[in-house]
Chains A and B, each alone.
Chain A
């Protein structure tokens, strides 16, 4: 158990180091993106044995993680820009949505992947956000006590 926790810690540290090198300077944002990457990778590995469903899940998780990465990278920079950040954010959102649409089209129509797996993979971002909120909330409760 301790060995697994130590290994998880090492993986998390290496993911966070890689994110720091790519411009994620704020610790909380870095931890959040690292949590999403690790959750997506871990669940994809866990469901890998299910065959096509697992592949669809991995594809969905990859799409969600790439979108989340791009969003977090831009948002941490945009918040300190005095003007034009909202317009740039909306433009980026539409460009990302278009690219995601093309990828989803190929996955759903051309490759015919299982839809429930794809949707479950896309939900990993929501799971990350809920997990982050739960950890923060429990941390606050412990501090208050």
Chain B
């Protein structure tokens, strides 16, 4: 099932990008490709980080339910883990905002 899903998503990606790669030229091709890349990138980042945060909190709740005395230690570890996960989503957001609105390949901002 997982193998089939992987093959299907790769095929879908190839079909989606093929038209942009062969039909468009120059800046238009870059804009099409980066639009797709940022949309997919943000969707993957948000989904992955959301799932990870939910799983982390679920595990911490289960741990506290089993051993309530360890709740304090678990909370700190949980917060650090959630902060790491969230910072990844924010980095993805920054990169995608740059790609969409300030694309450096079509005359946008440069890293100062």
Does B93 lie within 8 Å of A108, measured CB to CB? no
* Interface residue tally on A, bucketed by range: 35 or more
Task: Give residues of chain B (76-91) contacting chain A, Cβ–Cβ below 8 Å.
Answer: 76, 78-80, 82-84, 86-87, 89-91
* B37 in contact (CB, < 8 A): no
Which residues of chain A are within 8 angstroms of B109 by Cβ–Cβ distance?
Answer: 108, 112, 115
Q: How far is the CA of A28 from the CA of B75 in the complex (A)?
A: 9
Which residues of chain A are within 8 angstroms of B72 by Cβ–Cβ distance?
Answer: 26-28
Convert B54-93 into 0s and 1s, putting 1 for each residue whose CB lies closer than 8 angstroms to a CB of A: 1101101100110000011111101110111011011101
Q: How far is the CA of A30 from the CA of B73 in the complex (A)?
A: 13
Does B60 lie within 8 Å of A94, measured CB to CB? no
Whether A100 touches B112, Cβ cut-off 8 Å, given contacts A71-B83, A86-B54, is: no
Convert A99-113 into 0s and 1s, putting 1 for each residue whose CB lies closer than 8 angstroms to a CB of B: 011001100110010
Does B112 lie within 8 Å of A71, measured CB to CB? no
* A85 in contact (CB, < 8 A): yes
The 8 Å CB contact of B78, one of A75, A108, A133, is A75
Convert A73-110 into 0s and 1s, putting 1 for each residue whose CB lies closer than 8 angstroms to a CB of B: 00110111110011101100110110011001100110
| Residue of A whose beta carbon sits closest to that of B58 | A86
The 8 Å CB contact of A108, one of B64, B87, B101, is B101
Chain A contact residues: helix, strand, loop or mixed: helix
Which residues of chain A are within 8 angstroms of B53 by Cβ–Cβ distance?
Answer: 89-90, 93
Looking at B49, B73, B83, B87, the one whose CB has the most chain A CB atoms below 10 A away is B83
Does A105 lie within 8 Å of B57, measured CB to CB? no
Shortest beta-carbon distance from B30 to chain A in Å: 18
Convert A44-59 into 0s and 1s, putting 1 for each residue whose CB lies closer than 8 angstroms to a CB of B: 0000000001000000
Does A75 lie within 8 Å of B79, measured CB to CB? yes
Which residues of chain B have a CB within 8 Å of any CB of chain A? Answer: 46, 49-50, 53-55, 57-58, 60-61, 64-65, 71-76, 78-80, 82-84, 86-87, 89-91, 93-94, 97-98, 101-102, 109, 111-112
Which residues of chain A have a CB within 8 Å of any CB of chain B? Answer: 26-29, 32, 53, 63-64, 67-68, 71-72, 75-76, 78-82, 85-87, 89-90, 93-94, 96-97, 100-101, 104-105, 108-109, 112, 114-119, 122-123, 125-126, 128-129, 132-133
